[in-house]
Amino acid sequence: MNLTEIQRLYDYNSWANEVVLESLRGIGPEIFIANKQASHGSIRGVIAHIAAAEWIWLERWNGCSPAMLPPESEFETLEIATRRLRKIDHDLREFTMQLTQADLDGSREYKTTEGKAYSNVLSDMLLHVANHSSYHRGQITTLLRQSGAVPQSTDFILFIRLKGKQS
């Protein structure tokens, strides 16, 4: 994957996260925190997981390997979760803007939260994180529908269509 594609993917990832956050504005705090038996319990749990995963991978790419993800309790309200996710997405986009093709093709060493050491090609890790976030955004869509809300589409092709209209 080339640098332009990675940067576009992270523009999309940030846009899609923002669309999900907009979809959440219409729900109350009781729906945000309700345990829906999802992969991470509640909508808050899934949003916290997206943000925490994006954060920990960025930390790894910057040479740190945190031993744990930030807890869900750090995402107490939708407003706090929104600020946290926006900051992480901003930092991810800044990170991708600083990369070179040689960076993408090179490997980065890191440790998992269990302390296991790995080394992977950076472009593969970047693809993993964007794919991971998309997977969990899909879960939020389902949870919103189950709660009677109408989520907005986060399809990549919609992002491309909208971005084309802005040019």
Give the mean pLDDT of 13-34. 95
Three-state DSSP state, 81: helix
Give the mean pLDDT of 93-104. 98
Three-state DSSP state, 114: coil
- pLDDT tens digits for range 128-149: 999 999 999 999 999 999 999 9
- pLDDT tens digits for range 37-85: 888 989 999 999 999 999 999 999 999 999 999 999 999 999 999 999 9
For residue 95, give the nearest of 137, 125, 135, 134 by alpha carbon: 125
Distance CA 6, CA 153 (A): 21
- pTM listed for this prediction: 0.94
Task: Look up residue 71 and give its two tokens.
Answer: 């807890």
Q: Element (H or E) spanning 73, and its range?
A: none
Give the chain's length: 167
Give the mean pLDDT of 80-107. 97
Average pLDDT along the chain: 95
Q: What CATH number matches the domain at 3-166, 3.20.20.70, 1.20.120.450, 3.30.70.60, 1.20.950.20?
A: 1.20.120.450
Lowest mean pLDDT among 31-40, 88-97, 119-128, 144-153: 31-40
Residue 28 DSSP symbol: -
CA 28 to chain centre: 22
pLDDT top residue among 60 and 1: 60
Other residues' Cβ atoms within 10 Å of the Cβ of residue 119: 9
Ramachandran area for residue 112 (φ above 0: left; ψ -120 to 50: alpha; else beta): beta
Compute the half-sphere exposure of residue 59: CA atoms within 13 Å on the CB side of its CA.
16
Residue 167 pLDDT: 46
For residue 48, give the nearest of 63, 32, 37, 30 by alpha carbon: 32
